[in-house]
Amino acid sequence: MPKVRVAGFGVSLDGFSAGVDQSLENPLGKRGPEIFQWFFHTRTFCAMTGKEGGSTDVDDRFARKGMENFGAFILGRNMFGPVRGPWPDDSWKGWWGDNPPYHAPTFVLTHYEREPLVMEGGTTFHFVTGGIEEAMRLAKQAAGEKDVKIGGGVSTVRQYLRAGMVDSLHLALAPVILGQGEPLFRDLDLAALGFAVTERATTDHATHLVLEKR
């Protein structure tokens, strides 16, 4: 049975999943990369960025699972890029270069229409103006028998959690305190939403927690 999943989502000890002041220079916000140190050293990340090597440890196992069996992705506007308001032109094509790591239909939530953007490697960005329900309908249709991944950012994950549309949630709890940023858990009661921890593993870089709907 296909699932809607959030996977490989970093969170600080004080509950932030992105730093403040996201910009072209700071895609994850200031200090945001600190919560993803578990990911950057893995073979999975190296392969995604065209590099050799990388670790094949527990962090890599979770990183690899975080990109497996997905037939479609959903991203928020901020996850796609720093451009705000109406699209000035079609020049911005995402953070990832000509070959993004998704390799599947990817639906971007936005208030402003834009034509689909076909990239190398099988990724096509579709810009959805009808809200989270429409994006989910289109993503499930595109994914078929595979899972749908809510890729972020924080606001998008929170919206889908509040709406009860997420089946599985993998959090990588990083041993850092940001002090400020975008909070993941504010006004969310994961227990009331039916989640329980089903898997846990600790490395030098993160405590990995998998939560599933009961």
- How do the domains of the chain map onto residue ranges? 4-19+29-86+100-213
Instruction: Output the average pLDDT for the chain.
Output: 95
Sign of CA dihedral 45, 170, 72, 18: negative
Please report the pLDDT score of residue 210 as a whole number. Answer: 98
Q: What is the reported pLDDT for 21?
A: 87
Below-70 pLDDT ranges, the chain: none
pLDDT at position 17 is 96
Q: How far apart are CA 168 and CA 53, in angstroms?
A: 29
Helices (H), the chain: 37-40, 43-48, 58-65, 77-80, 132-143, 154-162
**Region 4-19+29-86+100-213: CATH code:** 3.40.430.10
The pLDDT score that the predictor gives to residue 23 is 84
Looking at the chain, the whole-number percentage of residues with pLDDT higher than 90 is 88
Closest CA to 173 of 79, 55, 44, 36: 36
pTM of the model: 0.95
> Residue 69: what pLDDT?
96
